[in-house]
A = this chain, B = another copy of it.
């Protein structure tokens, strides 16, 4: 019989747990600073957190004058899971309470194999990590999936890349299997929060995380929180129109960003170039018998192939036009570019920057940085653990997680 891990009992305890997660060990005095609590009340609340097994003492604090305070830290056995269900692989990571990745496993897994196979794979990887590390209680798990999610229901909604997953209650299924609260979100949202927790967007309040994979999506973080929109579809930028006479898109319109650029579009354009013998490298790789992907374009571009470089630059220019519009609209402090195709790296980044700094208004770009993702493949699992901890460490009044 699995035990249910303890949770904070009130807003003061929730705030203290979040502070300890984000800052590491703190003195009792520091824990009280933001809450306006008396010394006695701080001692009571920290005492309860210790009794609940969420916090432990960590020796005497440096004196701030007056009576010496005692340090507190998150219990070292707090464990979260970050789960990243990708189109072709599953990643699971185990973190401690401060969201440091203790262990990380990955396995190829086609999301089109359907919910049963994929959830089995996730549960298997989680069990492996728990067994290896002797983990009894999980405090929470956060799951990213490559498609639109009803955040409230914890289930995908008509996800184009995930046939058979519509309305599958991933949250509830995994919550039962793992014995802890589970949160499910779109993978781009999860990756954005991962970069904010431990990557290049650390502590950023207003930023955009652009994921370029097979398609293109955007995590929108405003005021330090994910903006999901009224139907949970915010950030779906792959179908923003670039022109009326572009290639047809899977969505039924012509000229969408995704129809021009992204992993699928690059693969298509590279294949055409190879077949027309416009690129020696791409033709050779196609003749060698494998389907071309964005990875081949990256390899060809790195080898100086002019056609491949032009594909990357033209894609970056188009992506830049869309980002420029978003920057004028949102006025963020930072834009992070991640996802598999971001591996095209600095050629892509240079083109995006050039367009954005030219097209967006000076006031909006004055304090704007545009950078590549720092966490790469770990962004999803770190973000999953972060979102799980946000909700587990919050007061017990949320409906977006299982185990209520």
By a beta-carbon cutoff of 8 Å, the part of chain A in contact with chain B is 148, 157-158, 205-206, 218, 220, 222, 227-237, 239-241, 243, 251, 253, 321-322, 324-326, 328-333, 358-361, 363-364, 366-368
Contact = CB atoms under 8 A, between A and B. Distances in A.
B321 A361 contact: no
Contacts of A233: 328, 331, 361, 363-364
A229 B325 contact: no
30 contacts: A222-B222, A229-B331, A229-B332, A230-B332, A230-B368, A231-B331, A231-B366, A231-B367, A233-B331, A233-B361, A233-B364, A234-B329, A234-B330, A235-B329, A235-B331, A236-B331, A236-B363, A236-B364, A237-B328, A237-B329, A239-B328, A240-B324, A240-B325, A240-B329, A241-B321, A241-B324, A241-B359, A253-B358, A253-B359, A322-B325
Nearest to A329: B237
A229 B364 contact: yes
A235 B364 CA distance: 10
A234 B328 CA distance: 6
Give the dominant DSSP class at A's interface.
Answer: loop
A324 B331 CA distance: 19
A134 to B, nearest CB: 41
Nearest to A326: B329
Contacts of A222: 222, 227
A328 B243 CA distance: 16
A158 B363 contact: yes
A253 to B, nearest CB: 6
A330 B363 contact: no
A227 B330 contact: yes
A243 B157 CA distance: 33
A221 to B, nearest CB: 12
A358 B218 CA distance: 21
A205 B231 CA distance: 13
A325 B253 CA distance: 13
Contacts of A243: 243
A329 B218 contact: yes
Contact of A206 (B229, B329, B330, B360): B229
Nearest to A236: B328
A358 B254 CA distance: 11
Given A220-B330, A241-B325, 20 more contacts: A205-B230, A206-B229, A218-B329, A222-B222, A229-B331, A230-B331, A230-B333, A230-B368, A231-B331, A233-B363, A234-B330, A236-B363, A236-B364, A237-B328, A239-B359, A239-B361, A240-B328, A241-B359, A251-B361, A329-B329
Given A329-B329, A358-B253, A363 B231 contact: yes
A392 to B, nearest CB: 22
A331 B332 CA distance: 17
Contacts of A368: 230
A251 B359 CA distance: 9
Nearest to A150: B363
Contacts of A148: 363
A252 to B, nearest CB: 9
Contacts of A324: 240-241
A162 B89 CA distance: 56
Nearest to A207: B230
A205 B332 CA distance: 20
A245 B325 CA distance: 17
Nearest to A358: B253
A331 B363 contact: no
Contacts of A333: 230
A358 B253 CA distance: 8
Contacts of A359: 239, 241, 253
